[in-house]
Amino acid sequence: MSSCILRVFLQRAAVLRKAAQQTLSQTRTLPAACVTDSYRHARGINTIASLLRAEEKVTVHFLNRDGKTITAKAPIGESLLDVVVNQELDIDGFGACEGTLACSTCHLIFEEDVYKKLGPITDEEMDMLDLAYGLTDTSRLGCQVCLRKELDGMILRVPDVIADARADSEKESSAPPKV
């Protein structure tokens, strides 16, 4: 009887540990500004302040590869990846790793004055950006940039070519060894 209780207890502890690890792995790559709004919002952990902020929207213009401009209005706190996904914007291949900093398909190019307002870039984002095609001095990853009031009206350029770092590394690992 007591071993049965112990087994149930251990199973529940394992389930709780796994759930905690999943939550941590989902939040680790989100920029802090996004965690406070989009992350809570997605999980229904809204505070009155975040609900009020969510009402405030900013306008973003994406210059797409085909030369067309896609304009979207989105709540402050959302990442640019959220904007593309939530509004189903037609940007081919964007955000393949869903914001886990593993692909660089969310590469975007900013105007210089806007780029300066984006805030610090983490080492992890920098590492992933290094794998992006067409890298510029004002490149960032859309999954790591959160909307703020000062960014209202910004224009972003979608690079002509995207690179999925995961696919590239898979190709390398399955390539025959060089002799």
Three-class DSSP labels, 85-134: HHCCCCCCCCCCCCCCCCCCCCEEEECHHHHCCCCCCCHHHHHHHCCCCC
Query: Which amino acid is it at 95?
Result: G
Beta-bridge partners for 70: 62
Is position 99 an interface residue for ligand FES (rule: CB under 6 A)? yes
Do 106 and 143 contact (CB within 8 A), yes or no? Answer: yes
Which residue stretch of 12-20, 47-55, 100-108, 145-153 sits at the interface with ligand FES (rule: CB under 6 A)?
Answer: 100-108
Separation CA 159–CA 64 (nearest Å): 8
Query: At 61, which helix (H) or strand (E)?
Result: strand 57-63
Tell me the closest approach of the beta carbon of residue 76 to ligand FES, in angstroms: 20
Read off the tokens for 54: 């969510």
Residue whose CB is less far from ligand FES, 109 or 141: 141
Residue whose CB is less far from ligand FES, 32 or 49: 32
Site string for ligand FES, 110-149 (x = CB under 6 A): ------------------x------------x-x------
| Contact residue for ligand FES among 38, 41, 70, 105 (CB under 6 A) | 105
Is position 70 an interface residue for ligand FES (rule: CB under 6 A)? no
Residue whose CB is less far from ligand FES, 76 or 84: 84
What is the contact surface with ligand FES in residues (CB under 6 A)?
A: 81, 95-97, 99, 101-106, 128, 141, 143
